[in-house]
Chain A
Amino acid sequence: MELLRPSSVAEIDGGVFVHGGTEVVPLLREGLLEAERLVDVRGIVPRGVRDGVIGAGTTLAELEAEPGIPDALREASRLGASPQLRNMGSLGGNLLQETRCWYWRLGYDCRLHGGDRCHAREGEHREHAIFANGFCASAHPSDVAAALVALGALLRTNRREFPVEELYRLPDEGNRSTTTLEDGELLLEVELPQVQASTYLKAMDRKRWAFPQVGVAAARHADGSTRIALAGVAPIPWRIDGIDALDSVTPLPRTEWKVPLARALVHRALSALG
């Protein structure tokens, strides 16, 4: 395997991007990701926060201490992972992390891996999805992604600019990917609109260093509208219009417990916005 360290975006010529390495390195080690060429993008992805624009190379540790960003993003950064991981992990990498579904992580021939069944649906699925889980019951693990969806962030890559929601897609028979990113496309910046208030609440199996059972991000926007997005409840960050959306969930037998939990957290998040 070769490791490249390009000095400009223009130099990129294929390969697997790696920034903090907290996700890519374990995936390589477990054989879940194969790379002939590893491209260290730390030298070319912007880092830091300026005028509502966040470099995708900014670490979660930097974001959790950043006063100039909305509360939802700061809280989502603070409540993610452990201090060691937040020191290494970047915002861009966090948005692109893979599911924690144990069947996927253990290399089962599941739908996300191109197979023809979702092992979690009939198997052990206490951590899995309550929305959009018919094809694949995995749960999206990113706290930060839910926060950015609620905040209505825009993403800029080396090729295009689009709302963060459009980064994600539900996997289906024809395309098993959970993102819309093309080969060679690299996240560079995140642009945040001004919001009046925002919050992120997270339920975990322990107080720290756990992926969300349910994470709830909510933001009150300048036009008075409220956007809500959930982590840990669907194969991708899941936007809901309001608390009533929890009346039309499709939980599996052992994910039913997530419904009252989500309801309580959404209620709290909305109360917190005032």
Chain B
Amino acid sequence: MARLIRTEKEVEGRFEEVWIVVEEDPLEQWPEGPLAVVGRPAARQDGPLRVRGEARYTADLKLPGMLHAAVLRSPHAHARAQRIDLGPAFELPGVRAAIGPGEAHGLEEEAGFAGAAVAAVAADTFGQARAGVEAIEVEWEELEVVLDPDDAVKRGLLTDPEPRRYERGDIERALAEADVVVEATYRTQTVLHNSLETHQAVCEWQGDVLHVYISTQYIWGIRQAVADTLGLPEDKVRVVCEFMGGGFGSKNSPDEYTYIAAELAKRTGRPVRCALTRREEHTSAGNRNATIQRLRAGARSDGTIVALDGEFTNSVGWSGWNASTEGPMRMLYDCENVRTVTYGAQLNTPPMKAFRAPGFVEGTFGLECLVDEVAARLDVDPLELRRRNYANSNEGTPFSSKNLEDCYRRAEPHWERRHEVRASSDATWKRGVGMASQIWYGGGGPPSYAWVRLGSDGRATVITAMQDIGTGTRTAMAQIAAEELGLPLEHVDVVLGDSARGPYASISAGSSTLPSMGPAVRAAAADAREQVEDIAEQRGLAKGTPVEEIVGVLEESQILGKGARGPNPTGMSVLTFGVHVVEVAVDVETGEIVVERVAAIHDVGRIVNPLGASSQVEGGVIQGIGHTLSEQRLLDPETGRILTTSLDAYRMPTIADVPEIICEFVDRPDEHLTNLGSKGLGEPPIVPIAAAIANAVRDATGADVHELPISREEMLRALEAAKQKEKRGAPAAV
């Protein structure tokens, strides 16, 4: 039965105390290992639709009479629109409506970054809307621009009133008593999500109901936020997202484009699309914020890390939140003395948004590079050092499951290759191997619901108003239902993507979709199975007879099974783990870095679809390679305007940059976590890759790389510094 509990809810590493109605989760977990459907590779059910272009994305939607909106964005990094004249826009052909500051949520007089939305125009075509925007006259009062994060911290320009402080043990004493202390500063750059489908929404009013078609990671969050902001009852907002072209954390909320479309639709009585252009996607759709990490580690000569000290500055931007860049330092190792302080610098730069393990990607780069530098100083094998500092609890709280040691054991053969990899170096190309560990959340949680409809034809439909962010969620949900019902996978369909069709479902963020939704789907399928078994029993068919053989008794009737996600285990930390071993080659004359091989081993509980899981890992590794080597959003240092606004200036990896990627999973259900034992995998594979590459580069060349991206510029600088250091007589690192 349902009960009300007070619990800590985590999304993307941010916690809040909430009351949640939870239902019990009485099902026993399935046995470990591949089952009939779950645990076996399944091709995406919607693959053919996608490759044939039949999958309908928000970007494909053309409603009768639909208008197009364009947005006037601030050219200044900090300015106030003193006067705005929308009039000239109305003079132009095709223009139907124009709105300014205060007329839609997100349109503001004060622009805190170049690209902030100020006004918007709706017209028959996008070109006409753009012309309308260009015709709007604005008198700007330019304000002081702050771009330097250290400067902002010094002046107290922070996103929170106070920096976030954490301390355990006695850090100063531990550092004083340590045999070695390693100190280093690491910097990470701003990178962009660059979803294939840009941020966009189509809004249409039908009577007093607002229909919002939107590319989103959170149908129910959009429904609630839009209703709250517009003062509507939630049932007067319908949200639809059947297919979406990526989000990576940047599509969790409605944002200005949705409110602009809704307001312009209201004023014109027509459906309105507001879609960001690729250029706007680079300026106004969020980013992974830059960080500065000033770190110290103290260790005893036996390899015990006794002190970890970190000062972290997140370049949050004009708004956004202060992600837990310090998280890995607190959680990854068993270290008695830890102190962190994390500043969120408020700058006149575009606001950060969650981006695939926000904070932990950046923090793991710093920490895992630092740990390798400790290993080098102590002359301890980096894998051995990590084992010696293995954490068996999360600051005293037991883990619901942790199989990082199994990941390390599986990493051994990959790690062992380092001798032959190094030996394959020549005068120009130096080769090396590096590793890094991964810790992150990914437990999911309630509330999440699903229904399963079963007919006498032995076909089942899973119905839930969730979204498939593009990870293959549909297929995984179908696998879980098919397994529970004992049906072939192709006899199960999944209907999702519409708040008017199906129950509440969780956000697809924080690696939570599968661990939140999977148990609800399984519970719904079990409910349906039990109902049909009861009916069959009344016809004299024994319990345990396969569903396919008994559904015939239903004839015209249908069964509707209902399922809910049960609670998380109390008093336990639900976390994901893994390790990457990376091989690189560095051309020491030209600074070129080639990632040649990545072995990615992760512990995320039960694997539902090994094919989908390996796709997740490959995608995470590739996105991480871009973060590590080539991607960076650049600003004009004088004005704060963004310079990299196109896909040729902002360099994501191409298929030619992709190395051999080996994916391995521990694949052991978390016995404390729901009826499924699965954790999420969306984020873990991007967490350790940067540090593993940097450690491999250091192994190959002896050069200290402390800054992302490790472009040729950075690589050549580090190689030159290593050369100078050697000249002065000090041995290069490693």
Contacts and interface: CB of A to CB of B under 8 A. Distances in A.
Interface of B: 589-592, 594, 629-630, 634-638, 641, 643-646, 648-649, 651, 653-654, 656-657, 711-713, 716-717, 720
A207 B651 CA distance: 11
B652 to A, nearest CB: 8
Nearest to B641: A106
B656 A207 contact: yes
Contact of B637 (A123, A205, A261): A123
Contacts of B645: 102, 106
Nearest to B134: A31
B598 to A, nearest CB: 16
19 contacts: A100-B649, A102-B645, A105-B649, A119-B636, A123-B638, A203-B592, A205-B711, A205-B712, A206-B651, A206-B654, A207-B654, A207-B657, A257-B713, A257-B716, A261-B590, A261-B712, A261-B716, A264-B589, A265-B590
B634 A124 contact: yes
A62 B305 CA distance: 60
A264 B594 CA distance: 17
Contacts of A261: 590-591, 712, 716
Contacts of B637: 123-124
A133 interface: no
Given A213-B712, A257-B713, A264-B589, A206 B638 contact: no
Given A102-B643, A207-B657, A257 B635 contact: no
A119 B634 CA distance: 14
A42 interface: no
A160 to B, nearest CB: 33
Assign chain A's interface to a size class: 20 to 34
B638 A102 contact: no
Given A257-B716, A261-B716, 8 more contacts: A106-B641, A124-B643, A126-B713, A208-B657, A209-B648, A261-B590, A261-B712, A264-B589
Q: Secondary structure at chain B's binding surface: helix, strand, loop or mixed?
A: loop
A128 to B, nearest CB: 12
Given A123-B637, A203-B712, A208-B654, A103 B643 contact: yes
Contacts of A124: 634-637, 643
Nearest to A208: B656
B644 A206 contact: no
B651 A203 contact: no
A260 B594 CA distance: 19
Interface in A195-250: 203, 205-211, 213
A254 interface: yes
Nearest to B652: A206
A181 B641 CA distance: 33
A264 B634 CA distance: 27
Contacts of B713: 126, 254, 257
Contacts of A100: 648-649
Contact of A209 (B636, B646, B654, B717): B654
A183 interface: no
A124 B643 CA distance: 8
A82 B720 CA distance: 33
Nearest to B643: A102
A179 B69 CA distance: 40
A257 B717 contact: yes
Contacts of A2: none
Interface in A73-94: 82
Contacts of A105: 646, 649
| Best-surrounded residue of B634, B643, B645 (most CB of chain A within 10 A) | B643
Contacts of A82: 654
B638 to A, nearest CB: 6
Contacts of A267: 589
Contact of A210 (B594, B641, B651): B651
Nearest to B716: A257
A122 interface: yes
A106 B643 contact: yes
B707 to A, nearest CB: 13
A205 B630 contact: yes
Contacts of B634: 102, 124, 126
Contacts of A210: 648, 651
B660 to A, nearest CB: 15
Interface in A248-274: 254, 257, 260-261, 264-265, 267-268
B597 to A, nearest CB: 16
Nearest to B658: A207
Contacts of B591: 257, 261
| Best-surrounded residue of B592, B636, B651, B654 (most CB of chain A within 10 A) | B636
A203 B634 CA distance: 20
A122 B637 CA distance: 9
| Best-surrounded residue of A105, A208, A264 (most CB of chain B within 10 A) | A264
Contacts of B649: 100, 102, 105
